[in-house]
Amino acid sequence: MNTAWSIEFIRIFSLILSTLLLGAVSGYWLFSVVLHSGLYIGWNLYQLKTFERWIRKGAPKNSAPDTTGVWQLTVQHIYRSQKSNKDRKKQLTKVATHYHAIMSALPDATIILSKNREIEWSNKRAEKLLGIDSQKDIGQRFDNIIRDVELNKLFSSDEEESVLEMTSPIDSQTRLSVFRKHYGDDKTLLVVSDISQRLAVQKLRKAFIANASHELRTPLTVISGYLEILETEEELPPAIGKVIKSASQQALRMEQILNDLLVLSKLEESRYSVSSGEVINVAMLLNRLVADFKVTHNATGNDFELTVDSTLNLKVIERDFYSLCQNLLSNAIKYSKEKSTIKICWSLSDDGQACLAITDFGEGIAREHLSRLTERFYRVHIERSQKVVGTGLGLSIVKHILDNFGGYLDVQSEQGKGSTFTACFPRSRVLFSDASKKH
Ligand code: ADP
Taking the centre of ligand 1 as the mean of its atom positions, its distance from the CA of residue 345, in whole angstroms, is 19
Residues 190 and 222 grouped into a single domain: no
Atom 16 of ligand 1, residue of closest alpha carbon: 380
Report residues whose beta carbon is within 6 angstroms of any ligand 1 atom: 327, 331-332, 334-335, 360, 362-363, 365, 373, 378-380, 385, 390-396, 419
Residues 29 and 92 grouped into a single domain: yes
Looking from the CA of residue 388, the nearest atom of ligand 1 is 3
How far from the centroid of its chain's Cα atoms is residue 336's Cα? 36
The Cα 400–Cα 265 span in angstroms is: 10
Other Cβ atoms less than 10 A from the Cβ of 279: the count is 13
Residues 396 and 284 grouped into a single domain: yes
The CATH number of whichever domain residue 111 belongs to comes to 3.30.450.20
Model-level pTM greater than 0.75? no
Range of the domain at 212: 198-269
Q: Single out the residue of 271, 108, 112, 270 nearest to residue 195, CA to CA.
A: 108
Residues 48 and 30 grouped into a single domain: yes
Domain boundary among 67, 100, 133: 100
Using CA of residue 66, residue 72, residue 78, residue 79, what is the dihedral sign?
positive
Using CA of residue 194, residue 200, residue 203, residue 208, what is the dihedral sign?
negative
DSSP character at residue 140: S
Residues 292 and 180 grouped into a single domain: no
The CATH number of whichever domain residue 432 belongs to comes to 3.30.565.10
The Cα 196–Cα 106 span in angstroms is: 18
Domains: count for the chain: 4
The Cα 118–Cα 170 span in angstroms is: 20
Question: CA-based diameter of the chain, in Å?
Answer: 153
What does each of the 439 residues of the chain score in pLDDT, given as a tens digit? 678 888 889 989 999 999 999 999 999 999 999 999 999 999 999 999 998 998 888 888 788 887 888 888 888 888 888 889 989 999 999 999 998 888 888 889 999 999 889 999 999 899 999 999 989 999 999 988 988 888 888 887 777 888 889 999 999 999 999 999 988 888 999 999 999 999 999 899 989 998 999 999 999 999 999 999 998 888 888 889 889 999 998 898 899 999 999 999 888 877 677 678 899 999 999 999 999 999 888 778 899 999 999 999 999 999 999 999 999 999 999 999 889 999 999 999 999 999 999 999 999 999 999 999 999 999 987 665 555 678 899 999 999 999 999 999 999 999 999 999 999 999 999 998 865 555 4
Residues 219 and 119 grouped into a single domain: no
Domain boundary among 230, 247, 269: 269
Q: List, in order, residues 6 or more apart from 360 with CB less than 8 Å away.
A: 332, 333, 335, 336, 340, 342, 343, 418, 419
Atom 19 of ligand 1, residue of closest alpha carbon: 331
Instruction: Enumerate the β-bridge partners of residue 414.
Output: 418
Domain boundary among 194, 223, 246: 194
Residues 181 and 130 grouped into a single domain: yes
Atom 14 of ligand 1, residue of closest alpha carbon: 379
